[in-house]
């Protein structure tokens, strides 16, 4: 019987596809659709074309650009991950200006902010009834301060939504002797919230859940967060765990029940609503599907694995599904190197170009852009972060608030800038033609599908412009979904055409707008060869994204000049002109590209000591393709990897002559999550044989964020021989790997 029904569905589909009056829907839509045993490949695709976001998911997508705030003890210890042993007094905050945060986020066009109210070390930033490990045990406002309260008030003032990051991993509850995490307590019925004398709740709702001590603690804290700080729009559950204990399980289904009751407008990150994009570098997939195949029913699942593959929702992937589920990604990354603030001198801040590029790739690639801005130890965003946010906001407004198709003719429902109206492309030739009254010059087009009613259906599309009497293809891409931003060299025409080349049923296009972005001089990159020759060149696009016209002839940047300084000062039009590589042995190089009337982003590189005389004295072991000299070849794409056996793994270096060293930088390899040196020891020697420990180092979160890390030595050390030893390898792995080592005077 079911087979017959599936067949009928297909026939209906074919009939309705050629029927202009149809609304393009063949079955009810839902955010989760089950695949039946007798579903065929075709009927699976029909189902996929009816998977839509929930109301909350759709609203979350419409926020587009949102903020993350990482703040806590790590801001003061300068660590990426804490350890749970921190004395709360370490959080030595004297001033706090959440209005300043909100003003800057608002200027950037952000719509929501998510605060780390508890990061992995377990310190809480609000006045919780259930622990003393937090803001209440600091001197900040005599222990009465509440950072979430201040932020919530500022959010209301500036019209921003609020979210909370509550880390399931909790090192304080793991390490302290009365800690609740993994304490093997019995599961029993517990009433949430647990009453605390003298601290009644205004909200009288109660829940009873069968949970253990840590889950009870977690639920009590969620109750506080979701009832005492105004509406909460997102709850962020990080999957990362520096450590685990006692087989601690998380009763997410209980957490979820509490969240849906107390924060009905909230989306949950890391669970069924929103998934991690799979990296922390701001990389985006060329094709980002939000209709995702699952083996279990996501609505009943207690835990969700990270999805990191390149292809996650193509037809081939969907054919293996038992459930199809709408689950959007957040592209999350930090405006600074690392998630927490360290300093304003050596911790790099991303350029405006970089952030704007990520904005276009992520929002215009069917995801939400979640950008972290870590406040400094004065409780403010640092001036450079504010500058970048302001300028990004200005670029977004100037580019995307001006629709050059505003008075164009074509499908009314597509050009009306109303996402609730759409044009169903159900003819054989699926295309949209937009004609403007006069020729216009554009280099961006935004396309949106009516995903709330019709799911994401476009699989392949192209954009043409009418140039010199014929259509010329100017851009092509794969899916669309919530939003696709197409970037292409400046094109002048009065007629543009979007062709849908492949789709899941008839796509419903809700919006097409045309824009002009004033292209800037390109970003640069600085490299140095082993013998110290410095080159400065336009940066290659990190994520395989096609350059959007910066380097196409006639578009811009004729008469482009690269100017640089070697003394750490800001490059100007009068700085030295770069035309060939030059020798530099130390110091800091800063460079920028200049066009006739514009200056590009400044790029800088601190130079470590020259490596041409370095020799490897000894390593404990190496693996075939990853010999030890690859750790010191000035090429971060090649690396040394030790064998698995033996501990510690080590690498000993002869620097050729004696130097007074103040810091070293470790660049991990990025090919896999194996070999990241999380903790280690630095030793020096007079003869290259007898070694003495001078310092230890620790780098948190390397697996998710495998970027270069710098460690300042406790005190400067003068030596010719130096040895790096591994103590802990991230993720419990057994080999050590180094892509590049640098030492700084």
What's the CA gap between 301 and 305, in Å, rounded? 11
Give me the least distance between CB of 332 and ligand FUL, in Å please. Answer: 6
Q: Give SS3 for 409.
A: strand
User: In 548-675, which ranges are E strands?
Assistant: 561-565, 576-577, 582-583, 588-594, 603-606, 615-619, 640-641, 650-667
Of 181 and 640, the one with the shorter C-beta distance to ligand FUL is: 181
Of 69 and 318, the one with the shorter C-beta distance to ligand FUL is: 69
In terms of Cβ atoms closer than 10 Å to its own Cβ (0-12, 13-18, 19+), residue 64 is: buried
Give me the least distance between CB of 673 and ligand FUL, in Å please. Answer: 13
Give me the least distance between CB of 331 and ligand FUL, in Å please. Answer: 12
Which residues are near ligand FUL by CB under 6 A?
238, 240, 332, 339, 701, 704
Contact 449, 50 (CB under 8 A): no
Of 240 and 424, the one with the shorter C-beta distance to ligand FUL is: 240
Of 114 and 584, the one with the shorter C-beta distance to ligand FUL is: 114
Give me the least distance between CB of 688 and ligand FUL, in Å please. Answer: 38
In terms of Cβ atoms closer than 10 Å to its own Cβ (0-12, 13-18, 19+), residue 605 is: middle
Could you tell me which residues are beta bridge partners of residue 577?
563
Three-state secondary structure string covering 177-245: CCCCCCCCCCCEEEEECCCCCCCCCCCCCCEEEEECHHHHHHHHHHHHHHHCCCCCCEEECCCCCCCCC
Give me the least distance between CB of 701 and ligand FUL, in Å please. Answer: 4
Give me the least distance between CB of 634 and ligand FUL, in Å please. Answer: 29
- The secondary structure element, H or E, covering residue 247 is none
> What's CA 207's distance to the chain center, in Å?
34
- The secondary structure element, H or E, covering residue 567 is none
Give me the least distance between CB of 339 and ligand FUL, in Å please. Answer: 4
What's the CA gap between 279 and 705, in Å, rounded? 7
Q: Give SS3 for 173.
A: helix
Of 171 and 222, the one with the shorter C-beta distance to ligand FUL is: 171
Strands 458-467 and 470-477: antiparallel
Task: Check residue 570 and report its DSSP letter.
Answer: P
Of 370 and 589, the one with the shorter C-beta distance to ligand FUL is: 370
In terms of Cβ atoms closer than 10 Å to its own Cβ (0-12, 13-18, 19+), residue 202 is: exposed
Q: Which residue is nearest to ligand FUL (CB)?
A: 240
Of 221 and 448, the one with the shorter C-beta distance to ligand FUL is: 221
What's the CA gap between 740 and 45, in Å, rounded? 47
Residue 101 token pair: 């945060």
Give me the least distance between CB of 370 and ligand FUL, in Å please. Answer: 8
Give me the least distance between CB of 336 and ligand FUL, in Å please. Answer: 12
Contact 668, 706 (CB under 8 A): yes
Of 209 and 697, the one with the shorter C-beta distance to ligand FUL is: 697
Of 9 and 376, the one with the shorter C-beta distance to ligand FUL is: 376
Give me the least distance between CB of 29 and ligand FUL, in Å please. Answer: 32
Give me the least distance between CB of 350 and ligand FUL, in Å please. Answer: 15
Of 211 and 370, the one with the shorter C-beta distance to ligand FUL is: 370
Of 282 and 293, the one with the shorter C-beta distance to ligand FUL is: 282
């Amino acid at each position: 019987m079911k087979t017959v029904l599936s067949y009928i569905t297909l026939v209906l589909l074919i009939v309705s596809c050629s029927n202009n009056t149809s609304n393009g829907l063949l079955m009810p839509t839902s955010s989760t659709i089950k695949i039946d045993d007798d579903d065929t490949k075709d009927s699976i695709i029909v189902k996929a074309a009816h998977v839509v976001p929930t109301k909350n998911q759709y609203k979350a997508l419409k926020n587009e650009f949102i903020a993350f705030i990482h703040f806590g003890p790590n801001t003061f210890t300068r660590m990426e991950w804490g350890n749970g042993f921190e004395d709360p007094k370490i959080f030595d905050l004297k001033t706090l200006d959440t209005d300043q945060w909100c003003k800057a986020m608002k200027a950037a066009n952000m719509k929501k902010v998510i605060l780390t109210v508890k990061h992995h070390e377990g310190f809480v930033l609000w006045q919780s009834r259930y622990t003393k490990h937090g803001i209440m045990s600091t001197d900040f406002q005599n222990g009465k301060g509440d950072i979430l309260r201040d932020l919530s008030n500022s959010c209301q003032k500036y019209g921003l939504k609020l979210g909370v990051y509550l880390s399931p991993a909790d090192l304080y509850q793991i390490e302290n002797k009365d800690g609740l995490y993994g304490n093997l307590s019995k599961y029993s019925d517990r009433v949430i919230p647990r009453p605390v004398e003298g601290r009644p709740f205004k909200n009288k709702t109660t829940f009873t859940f069968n949970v253990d001590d840590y889950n009870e603690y977690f639920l009590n804290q969620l109750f506080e967060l979701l009832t005492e700080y105004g509406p909460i729009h997102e709850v962020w559950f990080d999957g990362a765990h520096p450590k685990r204990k006692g087989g601690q399980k998380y009763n997410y289904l209980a957490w979820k029940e509490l969240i849906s009751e107390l924060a009905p407008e909230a989306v949950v990150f890391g669970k069924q609503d929103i998934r991690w994009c799979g990296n922390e570098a701001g990389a985006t997939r060329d094709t980002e599907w939000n209709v995702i195949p699952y083996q279990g029913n996501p609505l009943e699942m207690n835990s969700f694995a990270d999805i990191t593959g390149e292809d996650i929702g193509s037809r081939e992937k969907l054919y293996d599904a038992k459930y199809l589920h709408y689950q959007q990604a957040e592209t999350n990354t930090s405006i600074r190197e690392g998630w927490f603030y360290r300093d304003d001198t050596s911790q790099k801040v991303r350029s405006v170009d970089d952030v704007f590029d990520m904005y276009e790739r992520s929002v215009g690639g069917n995801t939400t852009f979640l950008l972290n801005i870590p406040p400094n130890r004065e409780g403010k965003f640092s001036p450079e972060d504010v500058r970048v946010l302001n300028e990004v906001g200005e670029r977004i407004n100037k580019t995307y608030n001006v629709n050059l198709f505003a008075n164009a003719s074509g499908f009314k429902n597509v050009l009306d800038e109303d996402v609730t109206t759409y044009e169903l492309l159900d003819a054989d030739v699926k295309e949209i033609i937009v004609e403007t009254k006069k020729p216009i010059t554009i280099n961006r087009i935004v396309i949106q599908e009516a995903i709330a009613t019709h799911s994401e259906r476009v699989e392949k599309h192209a954009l043409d412009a009418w140039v010199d009497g014929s259509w010329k293809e100017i851009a092509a891409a794969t899916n669309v979904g919530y939003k696709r931003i197409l970037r292409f060299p400046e094109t002048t025409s009065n007629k543009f055409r979007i062709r849908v080349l492949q789709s899941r049923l008839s796509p419903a296009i809700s919006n097409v707008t045309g824009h002009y972005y004033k292209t800037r001089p390109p970003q640069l990159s600085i490299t140095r060869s082993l013998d110290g020759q410095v080159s400065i060149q336009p940066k290659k696009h990190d994520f395989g994204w096609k350059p959007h016209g910066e380097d196409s002839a006639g578009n811009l940047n004729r008469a482009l000049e690269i100017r640089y300084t070697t003394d750490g000062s800001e490059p100007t039009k009068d700085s030295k002109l770069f035309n060939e590589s030059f020798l530099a042995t130390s110091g800091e190089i800063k460079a920028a590209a200049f066009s006739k009337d514009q200056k590009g982003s400044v790029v800088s590189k601190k130079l470590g000591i020259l490596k041409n005389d370095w020799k490897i004295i000894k390593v404990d072991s190496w693996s075939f393709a990853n010999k030890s000299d690859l750790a010191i070849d000035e090429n971060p794409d090649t690396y040394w990897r030790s064998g698995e056996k033996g501990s510690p793994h080590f690498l000993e270096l002869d620097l050729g002559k004696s130097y007074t060293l103040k810091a070293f930088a470790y660049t991990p390899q990025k090919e896999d999550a194996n070999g990241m040196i999380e903790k280690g020891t630095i030793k020096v020697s007079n003869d290259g044989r007898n070694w003495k420990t001078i310092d230890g180092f620790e780098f948190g979160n390397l697996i998710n964020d495998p970027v270069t890390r710098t460690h300042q030595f406790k005190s400067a050390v003068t030596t010719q021989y130096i040895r790096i030893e591994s103590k802990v390898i991230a993720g419990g792995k057994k080999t050590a790997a180094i892509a590049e080592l640098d030492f700084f005077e």
